[in-house]
Structure 1
Amino acid sequence: MMSTLQQDQATDFASPEARYFNREMSWLSFNERVLAEARNPAYPLLERLRFLSIAGSNMDEFAMIRMAGLVGQVRSRVTTLSIDGKTPSQQLSAIAARLRQLETMQQAALEELRPLLAGQGIHIKGGDLADERAEAWLKQYFLDHIVPVLTPQAIDPAHPFPFVANQGIGALFNLERKEDGSRLVEMVLIPGALPRFIRVPQEMTDDGVIYVATERLVVRFAPLMFPGFTIRGDGVFRVLRDSDIEVEEEAEDLVREFRSAIQRRRRGQVIMLELDESFDPEAEELLREKLGLGEAFVTKTLGMIGIGGLAAVVGEDRPELKFVPYTPRYPERVMEHDGDCFAAIREKDIVIHHPYESFEVVVDFLRQAAADPAVVSIKQTLYRAGNQSPVIAALIEAAEAAKSVTAVVELKARFDEEQNLKWAGELERAGVQVIYGFIDWKTHAKMSMVVRAEEGGYRTYCHFGTGNYHPITTRIYTDLSFFTADPAFGRDAARLFNFITGYVEPQGTERIAISPLNLRERLYEHIDAEIANARAGDPAEIWVKVNSLTEKGMIDRLYDASQAGVRVVLVIRGICCLRPGVPGLSDNITVKSIIGRFLEHSRIWAFGNGAPLPGDQAIIYISSADAMSRNLNRRVETLVPLTNATVHDQVLEQVLLANLLDTEQSWLLDGETGEYERVEDDGEPFNCHEYFMTNPSLSGRGGALKDSRVPRLTLRKGGM
């Protein structure tokens, strides 16, 4: 029988709440799934701690960006409704309640991990004391290394209230002078240069190593800083500020404007204040007043503040408490051509599946282009490149070799603005033509284009990716790199670069679709074709793998497909505003999320094209874009078709199908409640990450496949 909500939905699909989930609440649900991995007994202990720290960092970013945006709307009296019909104030109220739940869950996960780690000789200490030798070591460390960089400051009319930086941690002390009983409040801010945790080495303890948060050390040894005073109360606090960047569209100097905006971000409005549960009441009242909290969210905890900082403990050198190290394969296809990337690509298209296959092949592609005298031009987009980028080094080398090099550097890549400004300066000094793209659109496409003189003419080699050119994230994000020398792709790449650098809008493309020009329309055409197939009685299926689905028009189109009889399977790691499995609305739609050792990041679209999936007739695309309004409306993105048979099969019958079959890392979304539940094994557990780590890809293996047996995946009856 249908529940009351389902009956209401079956008759009232015009209600926003009945049709869509709230974006912010869906994101918080995603972070709950990340947090759940911290309590997954199948993972090594330090990996569980890593998931806990990631969940904490995610929560920080959510507060600094998403909550900050809603607070700004409330402050400006904006009444724009969310996709599910909620005002900014209503959303903030719901978020506050959910954050308290997640905060409690985070502290419970840490308390579960503490004794387990202690059993392995890794002690994370809070207010509890260490053993005698460790205490002596900590006291001396405090005097030698911490006291010299601390600046206690009295909080009174004679002293201006000190500025607390974004993500800044400090302690307040309520003091009483022993001599005359006068009272004083002192603030001690923890400088960002100090480590978040102090590590007591094993030789100075009775059992393993000890980690103590620096702020706890300050509280513990505060009497050494305040001789002549009695400490009547204390408390540790942490501040999160609005970190979104707004840039004037009419800015004359974009680089100068961004540098100013970054400075403004550091002084943004306080969005969240974290406090000890035992925070001194008098000091708390003063702190609230001086910070001018307004709509800020205040949370108190009996546990650790700033849980994201636990990443420092994860760095402990205990390989037996971490995942077994994985070394990516280098594509045999390229090695068969003596490492010549251009020869391998010229032979036929290649798809590289990261991190199972090394990102080094992408770097080698650019390094070879820089060193090859036949290469005349390189064009490259850069969204996030990291702080040690071999891609940047290759572009500089090419420019110094007198090649024509163009780099599209996106200054609006959130939290990478400063690093990208630095890279832009270095590239320009080397002679690279640096373009910042559009002021009101982000250039999010991942693309390289190399023009090489060959056989009396020029040949263009292209790389299209679903992920960033970042040396660190490519080791943990699952992404796809597509290499081709197909002239049609080369012409499309040239059109796209001309659009970005010269605002010359292409009148048409031969292969790829581009947002915000026609990417959405291309996807709509394929969805409509599947709807027509279903109505004609032909097989009709759509498989999609993206990170987020929030765009109303796309959701409605998928609802239309479901109602026409199209079977839709969505693998969405993060936010999903679509309600699956609602009678009369989305009966034929299933949504699953995969959270595991690697971060699912690739974007893939597959359309049955009149035949069941998977099949040779299917139309396959990879993309840099998620199904979000910002990607489809305000970003430059690519949608790239895969037509080579081997590449087509690899992405459809390996990558996508393995994601659908996964049971060990998968969660299913309940369209009524918005809750996710772990997929239950039916006796045949399958882990897609383990499958890719132990089985070779198709297009990158070349002749090596003749001596390899790759287990063929088959779709189970009834789907997932």
Structure 2
Amino acid sequence: MSVEAGHFSEIEDQLPEDRFLDREESWLRFNERVLDLAGDPTLPLLERVRFLSIFASNLDEFFMVRVAGLARRMATGIALQTASGQQPRELLARTSEVAHELMLQHAAVFRDDILPALAKERIEILRWDELADTEKEELNRLFRRRVYPVLTPLVVDPAHPFPYISGLSLNLAVLVRDPETEETLFARVKVPPLLPRFLEASPSRFVPLEDVIAENLPQLFTGTEIIEHHAFRVTRNQDLEVDEDIAENLLQALERELLRRRFGPVVRIEVEESISPEVLDLLMTELGLDEGAVYRVPGPLDLGGLSAIADLDRSELKYPPFVPSEAALPHDVNIFATLRDHDVLVHHPYDSFTTSVERLIEDAAADPQVLAIKQTLYRTSGDSPIIDALIDAAEAGKQVVVVVEIKARFDERANITWARKLEQAGCHVVYGFVGLKTHCKLALVVREENDGSLRRYCHIGTGNYNPKTARIYEDYGLLTADAQVGEDVTDLFNHLTGYTRDTEYHRLLVAPDSLRGGLVSRIDRETENHRQGRSSHIRFKCNSLVDEVIIDALYRASQAGVPVDVWVRGICALRPGVTGLSETIQVRSILGRFLEHSRIYAFENDGDPEVWIGSADLMHRNLDRRVETLVRVRDQGHCADLIGRFDLAMGMDTQCWLLGAEGRWTRHDGSVHIQTHLMRTRRWRTVDGS
């Protein structure tokens, strides 16, 4: 069932027209919660610095994709009214207004909170004029040795047109005067992106790289007078558009599109608030921007580079070390024998990814009784042991099939590299379906048992097969030798690699065919259960809740009186607590040390809880334009554990943010932080799954 914004059924049209929050502002409010953590004095200082960096990087991506998409649709004339009832031009103006506010808040937290707190810990981020003379001398020597050779000043005159400004590059706009002709010229100097964002002037005293370059501009423009200089930074549309229907080779088409990405139109320019009107006007004219695309902030710009400060070796200013538990699958047990005996539910990063998911693939690669390994890869790390294990398996003569999603946004180049490496090793590499991203997280191992029978071992997860992010992303994974799951996963891989119209599964819900409808039918069942006086409760955990059909089903459930708990990390277009519409719905968000990434959908089902986990968020792209999977968790202990997570998250003593009907989030400072609680109790799970 495919749904586009603004097209709803007759039943849905009977609900209030203003029942949806705007998704763009909701995302910005999520990033505001990240900024809230940066300003939290109870957190370790360098972790607060990291949250400042994350905020900046998040906002960059928001402009590169979401704002760029809005601008593109308006320019092509295909923009429609959004589900929240706003016209695109109104939405773009509101998005710009909120983004301006947040960028100023971000700069204020950096200037007023973080810089003084760092100084107390003898870590200083200074501007050039604040440095000691000896530090300036050392940095000038460093400039000559490491910076000057890689700089390319570009002047604008009749023989030299205005230069191309690459997206997210930091630049200096320079006005110089020729003393002989008195002519004033504009020049651009790009700050080298491969050099450190902050240079160390002396131990634990740092200065922005552009300040060092600015001080040494006379060396770049010898014989001229430097009139003024200002830092600026542009953001371009970096979403990819590949017409798969006419592309003769998806891999080659994507590579060509990656080359074109850097030339996307500009959607934002950031400037220091001290910039002169003359220079700003010139930049706006040359880049084709209006005032709404200009973001004036106190310097320095590009605070995403604060990640280098957060990485400083000051352990006392960071979260204490955390070692994941190996209790779910101890080293001394055979993983295949364990899974034949019972399902294993792992919860990362509290449970070790290395000794569970990685181990399944590595043991399968080394086991002579394993005949085949099939796996989906959406994002993985540059030095992934899983990639190495798949290569080892192929070289050992096993059949290895890998569905690589090369269109994973901003990981396209890395995925192309891994696809080619896997192909060269003899793996069968496929790219899923035309027009759909393969986002599901599946691994299938086919093993010949001692009695000659074949058994299938599966992993179905909520997160990527990425050992690095598995240490900081919260995700679940089900490892099982259940025959029905094995049959379902086999059928789905055949669907991905071959051509089959069979979309019926025993234990899976699969997008785009059955996932939305499967969830809606279960929501409606809870609604009917409540009307019949049977126990009912709906609990959803996801990254984003946007899909109008799902939201309307939840509204109808709430109107019938069903308790609905929504635990969402990022975007939420549902309005909770509206009289007559959503009085029984509460929406919470939890942010912290780990990024809450798992998706769980639980239904009370009249006392026989039905719990699903998987890769799908509740957005149009997930339900209509991606291959996603949810698997039903059968083990009663596992179901109780997952529902217990909701009870903890929704408890009145839990730290969280609460969503109000108007779309604003309020921080609730409870005495329990769920992530801290889970770290302290991470060894609860025993080998037998109890």
Could you say which TM-score interval applies, normalised by the shorter chain?
over 0.9
Match among 308, 322, 329 for residue 326 of structure 1: 322
- Tell me how far apart the structure 1 counterparts of residues 682 and 452 of structure 2 sit (CA, whole Å): 37
How far did 1:293 drift?
A: 2.7
Kindly provide the amino acid, as one letter, of the partner of residue 677 in structure 1: T
Which residue of 663, 666, 681 maps to 1:674? Answer: 663
Q: Is the 8 A contact 2:371 2:399 kept in 1?
A: yes
What CA distance in whole angstroms lies between the structure 2 residues aligned with 1:178 and 1:457?
88
Q: What is the CA distance between 1:665 and its match in structure 2? A: 3.5
Q: Deviations over 1:598-643 (max 9, x none)?
A: 11010001111113xxxxx211111210111111111111111111
2:146 is paired with a residue of what secondary structure?
helix
- 1:408-487 superposed matches below 5 A: 408-454=403-449, 455-487=451-483
TM-superposed CA distance for 1:521, in Å, is 1.6
Letter in 2 for 1:553: V
d(CA) in 1 for partners of 2:73, 2:16: 23
Q: Aligned with 2:104: secondary structure? A: helix
- Given that residues 20 and 84 in structure 2 are in contact (C-alpha distance below 8 angstroms), is that contact kept between their aligned partners in structure 1? yes
- 1:334–1:344 contact (8 Å) kept in structure 2: no
- Is the 8 Å Cα contact of residues 233 and 271 (structure 2) preserved in structure 1? yes
**2:183 maps to amino acid:** S
Does residue 129 (structure 1) correspond to residue 130 (structure 2)? The answer is yes
User: For the Cα contact (< 8 Å) 2:475–2:596, is it kept in 1?
Assistant: yes
The correspondence for 2:343, drawn from 349, 356, 360, is 349
The question of 1:637 aligning with 2:628 is answered yes
Q: Which position in structure 2 is the counterpart of 1:695?
A: 681
Tell me what 2:519 maps to.
Answer: 523
- Determine the structure 2 residue equivalent to 1:205: none
Give, in angstroms, the shift of residue 295 of structure 1. 8.6
Q: What is the CA-CA distance between 1:304 and the residue it aligns to? A: 2.1
After superposition, give the CA deviation of every residue in 1:456-491 in whole Å (9 maximum; x if it has no partner): 110000000000011221111100011000011000
Q: Which residue of 1 aligns with 2:229?
A: 234
CA apart distance, 1:651: 1.8
Confirm or deny that 1:66 pairs with 2:57: no
* 2: CA distance, partners of 1:652 / 1:582: 25
1:590 matched to which residue of 2? 586
Aligned partner letter, 1:634: R
- How many Å separate the matches in 1 of 2:500 and 2:148? 59
Cα distance in structure 2, aligned partners of 1:518 and 1:377: 28
User: Are positions 1:173 and 2:174 aligned together?
Assistant: yes
> Which residue does the alignment assign to 1:9?
none
User: Would the alpha carbon gap of residues 386 and 433 (structure 1) be closer, same or farther in structure 2, given more than 3 Å must change?
Assistant: same
CA deviation string 1:36-65 (max 9, x = no partner): 000001101100010011011000000000
- Tell me which of 544, 551, 576 is aligned to 2:572: 576
**AA paired with 1:670?**
G
Over the residues paired in the alignment, what is the CA RMSD in angstroms?
1.7
Q: Residues 130-152 of structure 1, C-alpha deviation per residue, up to 9 Å, x if partnerless?
A: 12222111111111110110011
- Structure 1: which amino acid aligns with 2:686? R
Per-residue displacement from partner, 1:398-430 (whole Å, max 9, x unpaired)?
001110000000011000000000000000000
Displacement of 1:504? 1.1
Unaligned stretches of 5+ in structure 2?
Answer: 1-12
- Extract unaligned runs of 5+ from structure 1: 1-11, 203-208, 612-616, 706-720
Instruction: Name the CA distance, whole Å, in 2 between partners of 1:456 and 1:161.
Output: 71
Distance in 2 (CA, whole Å) between partners of 1:441 and 1:697 is 39
CA pair 296-468 structure 1, distance change in 2 beyond 3 A: farther
**Could you say what secondary structure the match of 1:578 adopts?**
coil
Displacement after TM superposition at 1:179 (Å): 4.5
In the alignment, which residue of structure 1 is the partner of 2:212? 217
Q: Could you tell me which residue of structure 2 aligns to residue 104 of structure 1?
A: 104
Give the superposition deviation at 1:702.
Answer: 2.0
Q: CA deviation at 1:686?
A: 1.1
How far residue 661 of structure 1 moved from its aligned partner, in angstroms, is: 2.7
Q: How does 1:113-512 map to 2 (within 5 A)?
A: 113-202=114-203, 209-250=204-245, 251-293=247-289, 297-335=293-331, 338-360=332-354, 361-454=356-449, 455-512=451-508
Match of 1:610, SS state, is: helix
Report the secondary structure of 2:200's partner residue. strand
Counterpart amino acid of residue 660 in structure 2? D
Look up the match of 1:604. 600
**C-alpha deviation, 1:85, in angstroms:** 1.4
Q: What is the TM-score with the length of structure 2 in the denominator? A: 0.95
Amino acid at match of 1:61: E
Q: Deviations over 1:96-151 (max 9, x none)?
A: 11111001100011011001101111111235421222211111111111011001
> 1:66 is matched by which residue type in structure 2?
R
Deviation of 1:332 (Å): 4.6
The residue type paired with residue 687 of structure 2 is G
8 A Cα contact 1:477 1:600, kept in partner: yes
| Residues 328 and 351 in structure 2, CA contact (< 8 A), matched pair in contact too | no
Distance 2:426 2:131 in 1: 56
The structural deviation recorded for 1:507 is 4.3
* Structure 1 counterpart of 2:92, one-letter code: L
Q: Matched residue of 1:661: which SS?
A: coil
Cα 1:13–1:312 shift into 2, 3 Å = farther
Q: 1:228 to 1:13 in 2, by over 3 A?
A: farther
Q: Provide the aligned length of Structure 1 versus Structure 2.
A: 674
Q: Paired residue for 1:657?
A: 647
Quote the residue 2:672 is aligned against.
686
How far residue 296 of structure 1 moved from its aligned partner, in angstroms, is 6.9
Offset at residue 537 of structure 1 (A): 1.4
Equivalent AA in structure 1 for residue 672 of structure 2: F
Residues 1:195 and 1:333: Cα distance change in structure 2 (over 3 Å): closer
Distance, in Å, in 1 between the alignment partners of 2:616 and 2:153 is: 49
Distance 1:463 1:200 in 2: 50
User: Do the aligned residues in 1 keep the contact of 2:342 with 2:688 (CA within 8 Å)?
Assistant: no
Check conservation: 1:129, 1:135, Cα contact below 8 A: no
* Number of the residue aligned with 1:712: none
Q: Give the whole-Å Cα distance in 2 for the aligned partners of 1:435 and 1:662.
A: 48
**Paired AA for residue 600 in structure 1:** E
Q: Which residue of 1 aligns with 2:540?
A: 544
C-alpha distance in structure 2 between counterparts of 1:649 and 1:67, whole Å: 41
How far, CA to CA, are the matches of 1:670 and 1:519 in structure 2?
28
How far did residue 226 of structure 1 move? 2.6
Flag the 1:179–1:157 CA change in 2: closer, same or farther, 3 A: closer
Q: Which residue of 2 aligns with 1:716?
A: none
TM-aligned CA deviation for residue 663 of structure 1: 4.4
Q: Work out whether residues 244 and 250 of structure 2, in 8 Å CA contact, stay in contact via their aligned partners in 1.
A: no
Equivalent position SS for 1:525? helix
Residues 380, 467 of structure 2: 8 Å contact kept: yes
Instruction: Quote how far apart the aligned CAs of 1:66 are.
Output: 0.0
Secondary structure of the corresponding residue to residue 682 of structure 2: coil
Q: CA deviation at 1:176?
A: 1.9
What does the per-residue CA deviation read over 1:221-245, in whole Å, with 9 as the maximum and x for residues that have no partner? 2233333222211101111100100
